[in-house]
C-alpha cells in the first residue's frame, strides 16, 4: 500500500513539473492569439492525437465511456483550469500566476474529504499549510497589487481540484489512455464555445484571427507535453489519493521560477527563493512521512 503511495507521489511530481514546462511555452505566445483559442487548439490537437493512439491500441472498445457525467465534469474542470491559467500568464509573471494556483491542495483536500470520504492524513495537512506559507512569501506584499488578474489562477486552482477529485471518482473505469482521451474530447467542444463567446464579447484579447504557424506548432508541443503530464497526475491520483498528491503541485513553482528567470528575465529575489525553499521542504516532508509509514 505504501509502495503505491510513494510511486503515486513520484508520478504526480513528474506531471506537475512537466505542466510548468508547457506553461512556459504558452507564455511565449503572449499577445499572439487569444488565450481561449490557444486552449482550444491545445485540446483539439490532444483529442485527435490521443484518439488515434487509442484506436490503434484498443480499437473501438477503447471508446466505450462509463460514467459520462463524471467524464464531462473532468472536461469542464480542465477547460476552466486551462483558460484561467493561460489568461493569467499573459498578464502576470509565470511564477506569480503559478503561485496563486497553489490554493488547489487545500481545495482538493476539502473536496476529497467531503465527496470521496478520503481521510486527510495529518502529514498532508501539515505539508499543505507549510507550502501555502511559502506561497504567501513568494506573493508578497499582497494580492491587491495583482488586481482582478489574481482571480484567473484562482479559477485554474478550482478547476484542477475538481479534476483531481473526478479522476479519483472515475479511477478504474477505463485505461489511462482512454481517460486522457475522454478529458480532451470533453474539454474541446466546451473550449470552442468559450472561444466563440470570448470573440463575441468585444474584448480585444479574446478576439479570434488566423494565427501564425508557429503558434499552432507551439500549441501542438503543449498538447503533447500536457497529455503526458495529465497522465502522470492521473496515475498519481489513482495510486496515492487526491488529497495525498495535492502538495506535489508545489514543484510547479520551482520549475516556474527557474524558467521565468531563464526565458523571460523574471529574476527571483532572495525572499522569493526563501518561499520556494519552504515549498520544497513541505514536499520533502510529505515524501519522508510516506517512507516512515511504510511497513518494514
Q: Residues 3-23: pLDDT tens digits?
A: 677 788 888 888 888 988 999
Residue bearing the bigger pLDDT, 91 or 179: 179
18, exposed or middle or buried, with CB in 10 Å at 0-12, 13-18, 19+? buried
Residue bearing the bigger pLDDT, 274 or 53: 53
Q: In sequence order, which residues have a C-beta less than 8 Å from that of residue 256 and are 6 or more positions away?
A: 20, 23, 24, 94, 95, 97, 98, 99
pLDDT in tens, 106-151: 677 777 777 777 776 777 778 778 877 877 777 665 555 666 666 7
The proportion of the chain whose per-residue pLDDT surpasses 70, expressed as a percent, equals 90
User: What confidence score (pLDDT) does residue 26 get?
Assistant: 94
Q: What is the largest CA-CA distance in the chain?
A: 62
Confidence of residue 94 (pLDDT cuts 50, 70, 90): confident
CA distance 82 to 245: 20
User: What confidence score (pLDDT) does residue 247 get?
Assistant: 72
Could you tell me if 281 and 133 are in contact, meaning their C-beta atoms sit under 8 angstroms apart?
no
Q: At residue 294, does pLDDT exceed 60?
A: no
Average pLDDT over residues 83-91: 88
Confidence of residue 63 (pLDDT cuts 50, 70, 90): very high
Residue bearing the bigger pLDDT, 266 or 216: 216
Q: At residue 41, does pLDDT exceed 90?
A: yes
Look at the block and give the residue holding cell 507549510.
Answer: 130
C-alpha cell at 29: 505566445
Confidence of residue 296 (pLDDT cuts 50, 70, 90): very low
Amino acid at each position: 500500500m505504501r509502495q503505491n503511495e510513494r510511486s503515486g507521489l513520484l508520478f504526480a511530481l513528474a506531471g506537475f513539473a512537466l505542466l510548468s514546462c508547457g506553461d512556459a511555452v504558452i507564455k511565449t505566445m503572449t499577445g499572439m492569439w487569444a488565450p481561449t483559442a490557444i486552449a482550444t487548439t491545445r485540446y483539439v490537437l490532444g483529442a485527435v492525437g490521443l484518439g488515434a493512439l487509442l484506436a490503434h491500441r484498443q480499437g473501438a472498445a477503447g471508446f466505450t465511456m462509463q460514467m459520462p457525467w463524471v467524464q464531462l465534469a473532468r472536461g469542464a474542470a480542465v477547460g476552466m483550469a486551462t483558460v484561467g491559467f493561460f489568461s493569467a500568464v499573459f498578464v502576470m509573471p509565470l511564477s506569480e500566476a503559478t503561485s496563486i494556483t497553489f490554493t488547489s491542495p487545500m481545495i482538493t483536500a476539502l473536496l476529497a474529504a467531503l465527496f470521496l470520504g478520503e481521510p486527510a492524513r495529518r502529514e498532508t495537512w501539515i505539508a499543505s499549510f507549510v507550502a501555502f506559507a511559502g506561497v504567501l512569501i513568494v506573493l508578497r506584499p499582497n494580492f491587491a497589487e495583482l488586481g482582478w488578474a489574481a482571480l484567473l489562477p484562482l479559477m485554474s486552482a478550482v478547476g484542477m481540484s475538481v479534476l483531481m477529485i473526478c479522476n479519483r471518482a472515475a479511477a478504474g473505469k477505463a485505461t489511462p489512455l482512454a481517460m486522457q482521451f475522454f478529458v480532451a474530447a470533453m474539454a474541446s467542444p466546451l473550449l470552442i464555445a468559450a472561444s466563440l463567446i470570448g470573440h463575441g464579447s468585444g474584448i480585444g484579447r479574446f478576439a479570434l484571427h488566423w494565427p501564425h504557424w508557429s503558434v499552432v506548432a507551439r500549441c501542438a508541443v503543449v498538447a503533447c507535453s500536457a497529455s503526458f503530464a495529465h497522465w502522470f497526475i492521473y496515475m498519481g491520483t489513482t495510486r496515492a489519493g487526491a488529497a495525498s498528491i495535492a502538495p506535489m503541485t508545489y514543484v510547479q513553482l520551482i520549475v516556474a521560477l527557474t524558467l521565468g528567470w531563464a526565458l523571460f528575465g523574471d529574476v527571483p529575489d532572495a525572499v522569493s527563493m526563501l518561499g520556494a525553499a519552504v515549498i520544497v521542504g513541505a514536499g520533502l516532508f510529505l515524501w519522508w512521512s510516506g517512507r516512515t509509514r511504510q511497513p518494514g
